[in-house]
Structure 1
Amino acid sequence: MARIAIYPGSFDPLTNGHVSIIERGLRIFDKIIVAIAVNIRKEPLFTVDEREEFIRTEFADERVEIDTFSGLLVDYAASRNVRVILRGLRAVSDFEYELQMANMNRKLDDSIDTVFMMTEESDFYVSSSLVKEVASFGGKVEGVVPEHVEQKLVEKFADKK
């Protein structure tokens, strides 16, 4: 039986921290479904198609599947018959939030477990929100996002000026 995990997130944009979690997750799991959360209450910088393309460009590995979902993560996991959620942790504040989410998910469906993976030290301070903020002011995000994402950030904010 294949070991499959769902790695959910907005990935707006994909960061090197995300990439690291996926790469390291593939050492543990046979397949990772990178599930892009579609949240109608948030206005993302990049479209779902653009975010899918970021991930597809970074991972030519057939063990990485890209999908989208809305609604409850546990419902999505059940629909995919997956019982493991993979999450990355950066700081103590992440842990508190993620612990709450993992416990709620378990309350909603006790057949689903969450596996936490610590972010690499080099990516500890990086979040998609911070990347967007820095890029919006023309700051350099080299080394915190893949090169193709960096280029798209430059283009996106050049269009907004």
Structure 2
Amino acid sequence: MSERIGIYPGTFDPITLGHADIIRRGSKLVDRLIIGVTTNPSKNPMFTFEERCEMVRAEVDRLEIDHVEIVGFNALLMKFARKQGANVIIRGLRAVADFEYEYQMAGMNQQIDDEIETVFLMADVSLQPIASKLVKEIALFGGDISPFVSADVRDQVVARVEKIGRLGDY
């Protein structure tokens, strides 16, 4: 049997405890898991591409999983997956809205390359509400994000918010 190589793609801006849960669980399904940190033109990231790659690398090191690597990419996911020799795309689902979007993406990806399967992992129940976008919003309004991210990521987000300025005074 050939090596099972999985790709878990995302912008990870910032990486959350939900992402870490999918990485931990997804790594059990494959021989090698590549975390594909990507740029996304439709998003306005708080952190640079390099900062996000380093943040993900630090979180993966904290998980102590030896067959996970971080690779940045700026290409069509299926082309990136093919270049990496992947045969599985791993995606995390939080809610029905995620499923609708991911289902459509999986269908499009299958049209591009039907040899690469998409596997959906449901987020742990306690982590389902976590979204990077909401973490940033909470931080920008001065809220506590420690239930949603690791202490290191929290410190980086708080430092960035201090640099760019908080929103609101309530």
Give me the TM-score of the superposition, normalised by structure 1: 0.95
Which residue of 2 is the match for residue 148 of structure 1? 152
Task: Map Cα deviations across residues 100-140 of structure 1 (whole Å, 9 max, x no partner).
Answer: 00000001111111000000111111100000000001100
Two-structure CA RMSD over aligned residues (Å): 1.1
For residue 27 of structure 1, give the secondary structure of its aligned residue in structure 2. coil
Which residue of 2 is the match for residue 74 of structure 1? 78
Q: What code does the residue aligned with 1:15 have?
A: T
Which residue of 1 is the match for residue 53 of structure 2? 52
Q: How does 1:121-140 map to 2 (within 5 A)?
A: 121-140=125-144
Q: CA deviation at 1:70?
A: 1.6
The answer to whether the 8 Å contact 2:16/2:148 transfers is yes
In the alignment, structure 1 residue 11 sits paired with structure 2 residue 12: yes
Q: Identity across aligned pairs (percent)?
A: 45
Which residue of 2 is the match for residue 89 of structure 1? 93
Runs (5+) with no aligned partner, structure 1 = none
Q: CA deviation at 1:38?
A: 1.2
| Cα separation, 1, equivalents of 2:57 and 2:140 | 24
In the alignment, structure 1 residue 103 sits paired with structure 2 residue 107: yes
Q: CA deviation at 1:96?
A: 0.4
Q: How does 1:113-124 map to 2 (within 5 A)?
A: 113-124=117-128
Say which is worse superposed, 25-34 or 85-94, in terms of deviation. 25-34
Q: CA deviation at 1:23?
A: 0.4
| Cα separation, 1, equivalents of 2:42 and 2:100 | 23
Runs of 4+ in 1 over 6 A off after TM superposition: none
Q: How does 1:18-37 map to 2 (within 5 A)?
A: 18-37=19-38
| Cα separation, 2, equivalents of 1:94 and 1:113 | 18
